[in-house]
Structures are given as C-alpha cells and as structure tokens.
C-alpha cells in the first residue's frame, strides 16, 4: 500500500520558486520600509522580525506551492566595518532555491535572504 504511494517530487513549473520574483518582493518591501531609516539598535530586532514576516507573507502569496520558506533578515549598522555573509545549503538544487537582496543606505545595511525548500 505504501509502496504504491506517489510523490510529487518536482514542483509544477509555474509554482516553482523563482528567485527573481522573490527578489522583487524583497526589494519592494525593504525599500518601502527602510528607505531613509536610521539605524537604531533597539528598534532593529523588532524591525527585522516584522520585515521577515512581511516578506514571508508576501512571498507566500506569490504562489509557490508546496514550498517551505525561510526568511532571514539581517540588519546591521554601517560604520565602515567589513561584513561578509554567505550561505550554504544542502538541498535539492532542482527544486530548492533562494533569493537575496541587499539594501544599503548611509546608516544601515539590510540583507534579506529567502530560502525556498520544496515540500515533497
């Protein structure tokens, strides 16, 4: 019985995680929320959380079926320091993808990475 189970191991093309679209979502929200913002260490944790939620909601509505989304928002202050962020994933490269966008202004930088993992 279980052996006869069928699995949809590849998303339909139209529901596939498209990083360009997601990137646009991110960009839109981040631009809207962060433009002209000054870094405030007290607000930033709440801000990043709400940003992540907003982005997650928006990406959810973008219709990526059967995708688990992980949204990571990092906001840091710009003080001339060097920052290096990178990610590495163990995933099925055929289905899973990610999108990232960086927003910077004089006061802060914001890195948003959205990972979409297909839920077989």
Query: Distance between CA 102 and CA 110 in Å, rounded?
Result: 6
Q: Is 116 exposed, middle or buried (0-12, 13-18, 19+ CB in 10 A)?
A: buried
Q: Is 56 helix (H, G, I), strand (E, B) or coil?
A: helix
Q: Which two tokens stand for residue 45?
A: 């944790």
Q: Which of 1, 5, 13, 35 binds another protein (CB under 8 A)?
A: 5
Angle between helices 19-34 and 41-61 (to 10 degrees): 140
Q: How far is the CB of 36 from another protein (least distance, A)?
A: 18
Q: Which of residues 60-119 bind another protein (CB under 8 A)?
A: 74, 79-93, 98, 100, 102, 109, 111, 113
Quote the CA–CA distance of 119 and 7 in Å, as a whole number: 10
Min separation Cβ 3 and another protein, Å: 8
Applying CB under 8 A, does 38 fall inside the site for another protein?
no
- By CB under 8 A, tell whether 1 contacts another protein: no
Interface residues with another protein (CB under 8 A)? 2, 5, 7, 9, 74, 79-93, 98, 100, 102, 109, 111, 113, 120
């Amino acid at each position: 019985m279980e052996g006869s189970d069928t699995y949809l191991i590849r998303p339909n093309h139209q529901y596939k995680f498209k990083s360009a679209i997601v990137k646009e979502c991110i960009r839109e929200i981040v631009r809207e929320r962060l433009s002209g913002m000054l870094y405030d260490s007290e607000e930033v944790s709440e801000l990043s959380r709400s940003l992540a939620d907003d982005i997650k909601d928006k990406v959810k509505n973008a219709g990526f079926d059967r995708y688990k989304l992980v949204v990571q928002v990092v906001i840091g202050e710009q003080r001339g320091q060097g920052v290096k962020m990178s990610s590495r994933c163990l995933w099925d490269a055929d289905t899973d993808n990610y999108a990232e966008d960086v927003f910077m202004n004089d006061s802060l930088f914001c890195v948003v990475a959205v990972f979409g993992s297909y839920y077989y």
